[in-house]
Structure 1
């Protein structure tokens, strides 16, 4: 291939072996190449949506992963990226490899996918797994997914952008880790997300709330934080499976009661009840 003159792979290059080039892949090129997508796995629409959002936002970086074609011209790998180029309506630089044995398709995408937490670890972030979890939930919350259904999840680039815009989330993660070390009955992802949301409303009150959540010090009977602690300890003792959104609801109900200055005898969140909003 010639990097400057080739506009699409030469699918049949007899005697030329495996070839590669970096090309600016346009939506029209992607449509043409997908005509050769005759033997591949089922399209995952969420992956296409995730990739296309990053491409449209200019956050898709060429990372060496190739669009791959066989010696017979069949598309072996890259269908999701090509569909994303079309969906985004932008042109993207990509590495193109042709002339591969068709049997090589069985070995593609067999490795463990790099997670958002892995990326933050490489960047030197502390508590990177918790940080990734909190960023995803804050992103979902801001998108209106208050029950964390994750029908649409943020990409690593979107999580990184959120952290750049709100670096204070790192502090929320630190608080979540600290609370969990003292009181191990709440998931750090829910605690960190709640800390960030509550701190937006009243930073000073959030400091007190999460300090008492961790140590339970001098809380009288009926105090919302004590009721919250008792609720989650009981559920853990009963080995109940509690989804993250319900932990969030418990935290918000306790927080709202503290803000209102009222006691809270019990915390209930029915499965079909709407998520309360922090105030």
Structure 2
């Protein structure tokens, strides 16, 4: 078997169907190439996708959004073919190229033994928190969690039960658009330290939403949520603190969307200067809109 040959031009050029077919049927051993892979070529490769794991539509959607946005980068990951041209790895990227109807520059490795498929994709997938940590982002895990929830909110997911999640590129773009989320993460962690019954991701998401409405009132709201000080009987924040404390004691945990819903209900009542002796929320209720 020959050594791995890497063809890496300064700029990848489009590959013709004939050139692709020649690569797929090459018997000279493994070879790696950087190509501009067009949708029609991706569709041709998918005809040889005969033995692979079940397709995950959510992964195809994630890749397709990045491809359409131009944030799908050449990062060393490759479309991998066996000695007969069958797809061993990369089916989700191929489907995404077809879905986005946009070409991408990618590595393609041909001529691999079919048995190597069993060893592919065995590593742990990098998360948004990992990527932010590599960027030396403070509170990277909390920032990433808030970004994921804010992205869902922007997509109109008010029950937070959709399986779609933002890609790393989408999380970074959202942070560039809303750098104040870093401050929301700091306040969330500080509030959680004082009142540990609500997860930081819910606190940070709520702070981001409330701060956009009234920064001064949001600052006061989270200070009082943390310490419960100087609040009169019937104040919505006291009802919120009592509700999550008792519900966690009885049920052990609370669905994430309920945490955010409780935070919004108490915020809206506070904004309306309305008393709230107890907080009731029917199961599977969408999170109300902050005002």
When the two structures are superposed, what TM-score results if normalisation uses the length of structure 1? 0.96
> Structure 1 229/253 Cα, relative in aligned 2: closer, same or farther at 3 Å?
same
Task: Give me the whole-angstrom Cα distance separating, in 1, the residues matched to 2:61 and 2:14.
Answer: 31
Correspondence for 2:173 among 124, 140, 161:
161
Residue 65 of structure 2 corresponds to 53
Q: Which moved more, 1:264-273 or 1:49-58?
A: 264-273
On the 8 A contact 2:14/2:38 being kept in 1, the answer is no
Which residue in 2 is equivalent to 1:130? Answer: 142
Q: Residue 216 of structure 1: CA displacement?
A: 1.0
The DSSP-based 3-state class of the residue aligned with 1:68 is strand
1:125-165 CA distances to partner (integer Å, 9 max, x unpaired)? 11111111100111111111011113322111111111001
| Residues 132 and 57 of structure 1, relative CA distance in 2, 3 Å threshold | same
- Structure 2, unmatched stretches of 5+, are none
Give the structure 2 partner of residue 11 of structure 1.
24
**Partner residue in 1 for 2:126:** 114
In structure 1, list runs of 5 or more residues that go unmatched.
none
Query: In the alignment, is residue 89 of structure 1 matched against residue 101 of structure 2?
Result: yes
Whole-angstrom CA distance in 2 between matches of 1:180 and 1:162: 24
Of 239, 245, 252, the residue aligned with 2:264 is 252
Once structures 1 and 2 are overlaid, which stretch shifts more, 231-240 or 242-251?
231-240
Q: How does 1:20-31 map to 2 (within 5 A)?
A: 20-31=32-43
Matches within 5 A, 1:80-229: 80-229=92-241
Structure 1 runs (4+) deviating above 6 angstroms are none
Deviation at 1:258, TM superposition (A): 0.6
Equivalent residue pairs, number: 278
* 1: CA distance, partners of 2:269 / 2:152: 24
Q: Contact (CA 8 Å) 2:159, 2:285: kept in 1 or not?
A: no
Task: Give the alignment's Cα RMSD to 1 decimal.
Answer: 1.4
TM-score (norm 2): 0.92
Secondary structure in structure 2 of the residue aligned to 1:21: strand
Q: Deviations over 1:161-180 (max 9, x none)?
A: 11001100111011001101
SS of the residue 1:90 aligns to: coil
